[in-house]
Amino acid sequence: MKRAFTSLLRGLAKTRRAIEDGIESALGRGGGLDETALEEIEETLIAADVGVETSLHLVDSLRVRRDRGDAPDDAGTIASALADEVKKILEQAADGPPVDNGHPPHVIMVVGVNGVGKTTTIGKLAHRHVARGNRVVLAASDTFRAAAGEQLTVWAQRSGADLVGGHDGGDPASVAYDALDAAAARKADVLIVDTAGRLHTQKNLISEIEKIKRVLGKRMPGAPHEVLLVLDANTGQNAVAQAKLFDEALGVTGIVLAKLDGTARGGIVVAIARELGIPVRYVGLGENIEDLADFEPGPFADALVGAAGGESPANAA
Ligand SMILES: Nc1nc2c(ncn2[C@@H]2O[C@H](COP(=O)(O)OP(=O)(O)O)[C@@H](O)[C@H]2O)c(=O)[nH]1
Ligand SMILES: [Mg+2]
């Protein structure tokens, strides 16, 4: 956990620095937390992809405190007041870890547009479960891209998971069905289904993924138990649109925010939590098998906004 949080701080450093600079420059005018300063802080938050609505809400919380007479007046106090608000938003969306259904396999579908990090995330997740002693099966239901199956095969080997593949151009839903069959027969604990992120049209993509979901539920009532949407942390506001699209079609149960290492746009999950109420489950912090951390609202909020008294990257190293 310690290592994961340190990486998280590193991943969010750019975003945090931008927000800290924004707050300091807003106060630099010498007018304290006046309207001009609040506006500048709001702009800084919007630039960090916290979203317009959510940025307004956050700045409002500062205004309320100011008007009550307990204005946070130095950059550190303002940052920690913002971090508290961010934490609240993220905690409201969180609903605890998914309940163990008691009848394995636990079926996880992984969805998202092309290139966001689905297959890599599946490799990392498989590794996690295998390390806990679970038997894991991966379903190669991205049959659209020739290389996708090979890529998943490599992750299966690295993580020690079984793979059920199709052939290129095969029917992704029947691959998923066969994989669930195999997982049940082998008494696997977890089945993770990879899916395509691009088809000829977006409509085709969504209906293909809906069909995979339906077929899984036919083979095993209640499956899939989780629909994880992978978002690329660099995407910015378009990630909100992607989340809406997949959530309306499939009912997303959780988000994986991949590529949080080295982005200046980590604020996007706050907007998604507030606007869609979907919890973030994991964050991707690199391309290696270990680079997946559980999402924790508190540490994340501190790392994003730079709360006073929290760890700085310097003393966390
Ligand atoms: N830096 C970084 N790169 C990642 C992360 N997750 C995935 N990638 C890279 O993103 C690219 C696309 O990943 P892939 O899993 O193939 O995406 P998919 O098309 O959604 O399955 C690959 O080059 C991955 O190595 C992450 O958390 N951090
Ligand atoms: Mg893929």
**What domains can be seen in the chain, in order of their start residue?**
2-94+305-310 (1.20.120.140), 106-296 (3.40.50.300)
Ligand approaching nearest to the C-alpha of 122:
1
CA of 180 to the centre of ligand 2 (A): 19
Q: Read off the pLDDT of residues 122-179 as tens digits, 9 standing for 90 and up.
A: 999 999 999 999 999 999 999 888 788 999 999 999 999 999 987 767 899 999 999 9
How far is residue 66's CA from residue 154's CA, in Å, rounded to a whole number?
Answer: 55
Query: Could you count the other beta carbons within 10 Å of the beta carbon of residue 275?
Result: 16
How far is residue 165's CA from residue 174's CA, in Å, rounded to a whole number?
Answer: 10
Closest-lying ligand 1 atom to the alpha carbon of residue 116: 20
pLDDT in the model for residue 73: 81
Best mutation site among 122, 287, 290, 291 for ligand 1 pocket (most ligand atoms within 8 Å of CB): 287
Residue 314 reports pLDDT greater than 60: no
Q: Is the CB of 149 under 6 A from ligand 1?
A: no
Q: Read off the pLDDT of residues 175-227 as tens digits, 9 standing for 90 and up.
A: 999 999 999 999 999 999 999 998 778 899 999 999 999 999 999 999 999 99
Contact 296, 270 (CB under 8 A): no
Which tokens is 148 given? 């996708």
Assign 287 a pLDDT band (cuts: 50, 70, 90).
very high
* Residue with CA nearest ligand 1 atom 22: 117
pLDDT in the model for residue 10: 76
Closest-lying ligand 1 atom to the alpha carbon of residue 122: 15
User: What percent of the chain has pLDDT above 90?
Assistant: 64
For residues 236 and 108, the model is more confident at 108
pLDDT in the model for residue 289: 96
For residues 164 and 8, the model is more confident at 164
Q: Is the CB of 124 under 6 A from ligand 1?
A: no
Q: In what order do the strands lie in the sheet with 280-284?
A: 162-164, 136-141, 190-195, 106-111, 226-232, 254-258, 280-284, 292-294
Closest-lying ligand 1 atom to the alpha carbon of residue 262: 1
Which tokens is 205 given? 């993509």
Q: Is the CB of 263 under 6 A from ligand 1?
A: no
pTM of the model: 0.89
pLDDT in the model for residue 206: 95
pLDDT in the model for residue 255: 94
pLDDT in the model for residue 98: 65
Q: Read off the pLDDT of residues 165-186 as tens digits, 9 standing for 90 and up.
A: 877 678 999 999 999 999 999 9
Contact 222, 180 (CB under 8 A): no
Q: What is the mean pLDDT of the chain?
A: 89
Q: Is the CB of 119 under 6 A from ligand 1?
A: yes
Going from the C-alpha of 259 to that of each of 135, 137, 234, 269, 288, the distances in angstroms are 27, 24, 7, 13, 11
Which tokens is 127 given? 């590794």
CA of 85 to the centre of ligand 1 (A): 31
Q: Is the CB of 118 under 6 A from ligand 1?
A: yes
Q: How far is CA 64 from the centre of its chain?
A: 30
Q: Is the CB of 299 under 6 A from ligand 1?
A: no
Residue with tokens 């500048």: 40
* Residue with CA nearest ligand 1 atom 7: 117
Q: Is the CB of 285 under 6 A from ligand 1?
A: yes
Give φ, ψ of 226 to 5 degrees: -140, 140
pLDDT in the model for residue 64: 93
Assign 309 a pLDDT band (cuts: 50, 70, 90).
very low
Going from the C-alpha of 156 to that of each of 37, 85, 163, 305, the distances in angstroms are 52, 40, 6, 37
E-strand spans in the chain? 106-111, 136-141, 162-164, 190-195, 226-232, 254-258, 280-284, 292-294
What is the average per-residue pLDDT within 21-50? Answer: 93
Q: Is the CB of 172 under 6 A from ligand 1?
A: no
Query: Could you count the other beta carbons within 10 Å of the beta carbon of residue 298?
Result: 15
Beta strands at 106-111 and 190-195: parallel, antiparallel or unpaired: parallel
Residue 316 reports pLDDT greater than 50: no
Contact 275, 54 (CB under 8 A): yes
Q: Cα dihedral angle (34, 83, 283, 9), rounded to 10 degrees?
A: 90
Residue 311 reports pLDDT greater than 50: no
CA of 88 to the centre of ligand 2 (A): 33
